[in-house]
Amino acid sequence: MSVTRAELRRAVAAPMMRTVIGVAGGGSTVALADPAELQDSGASDDLWTGAWLHITAGANAGEVRRVTAYDPASGSVTVNRPFARPVDTTSEYELLRLLGPAELHLAIDDTLARCWRRTLAELTSVADGRRRCPLPAWVTRRQQVVEVWERRGAPPRGEHLRAVDWWRLTRGAPGHESPFWIELDHAPGGALLVEGLRPYEALAADQSVTDAPADWVTAGALAYAYRRLRRDAPADDADRYAALQYEAAREFQRLSRLYQPRAVRRVQLGERL
């Protein structure tokens, strides 16, 4: 089941910090009011001071500001610099206490790069009599390569895949975008495909989606976020964040055993790296 970046960001933010998700009741270029979510006569004036106000939809979508003042009586916040347009009732927003959306997105993308899925990719560029070819640029580690296949056959009898008899990994040519190449013992008779473990792609926008399991990404992103908070926190808070980071990292490792594909490569005699 696919999940968006916005859904992942909120899943990461929810357990680690106070967060408000709402729709503005009005405002200006320097203020947002939402009595339904922000009005609280018992709250301190500094409750949301320093928080990130992230407009997620409507007027000023995508803009982020820091909160400089909070009025609990009216349920409004003032920001450090003006928005491009006045905040109105189309403005959907998030208030984030500890980390802004940019840091949360880094945490998500860092985790996606460490989560792999099994995939087949066609090798389109072949050199040296079709016996050497570069692997896709996303192959950066030896253990990502599982098998090399040759696609043969054609309609009406259909296509089929046959494992290449012998291949080995070699280092790519200096300056080439691919760090690894495949070397074969003979020129293939059909199209070549590599079976590999590919990292999930980074998410460029809130509407971008990934098929990575949401709980797996959330756990890894939480570990990243707590590590970031621990780095700059006072000693007492640093110890607390360290404990939370440890628990999130353990959960990420547990889920990695569940979701991360495992592959056993054939022994390729004479392979050297």
pLDDT tens sequence for the chain (273 residues): 899 999 999 999 999 998 999 999 999 999 999 999 999 988 999 999 999 999 999 999 999 999 999 999 999 999 999 999 999 999 999 999 999 999 999 999 999 999 999 999 998 766 666 688 889 989 988 889 999 999 887 666 667 888 888 888 888 777 777 888 888 888 777 888 999 999 999 999 999 999 999 999 999 999 999 999 999 888 889 999 999 999 999 999 999 999 999 877 766 655 554
The predicted structure's pLDDT at residue 1:
81
Element spanning 264, H or E: none
Pairing, β 145-154 against β 158-163: antiparallel
CA 271 – CA 225 distance, rounded (Å): 40
HSE at residue 202, side-chain half, CA atoms within 13 A, is: 8
Does residue 234 sit in helix, strand or coil?
Answer: coil
B/e letters for 226-258, b = 16+ CB within 10 Å, e = fewer, are: bbbbbeebeeeeeeebeebbeebbebbeebeee
Q: CB 60: neighbour CB atoms within 10 A?
A: 25
For residue 145, list its beta bridge partners. 196
Question: Order of strands across the sheet with 52-57?
Answer: 19-23, 92-96, 52-57, 64-71, 76-79, 31-33, 26-27
Element spanning 35, H or E: helix 35-38
Predicted structure pTM score: 0.88
CA 178 – CA 203 distance, rounded (Å): 22
Q: CB 260: neighbour CB atoms within 10 A?
A: 15
The predicted structure's pLDDT at residue 99:
95
Instruction: Answer yes or no: are the C-beta atoms of 218 and 166 closer than 8 Å.
Output: no
CA 8 – CA 271 distance, rounded (Å): 41
Of 128, 200, 204, 135, the C-alpha closest to 169 is 135
CA 103 – CA 167 distance, rounded (Å): 42
Given CA atoms 169, 173, 174, 179 in this order, what sign does their dihedral have? negative
Strand residue runs (E) in 99-258:
116-123, 132-134, 145-154, 158-163, 167-171, 180-184, 191-199, 209-210
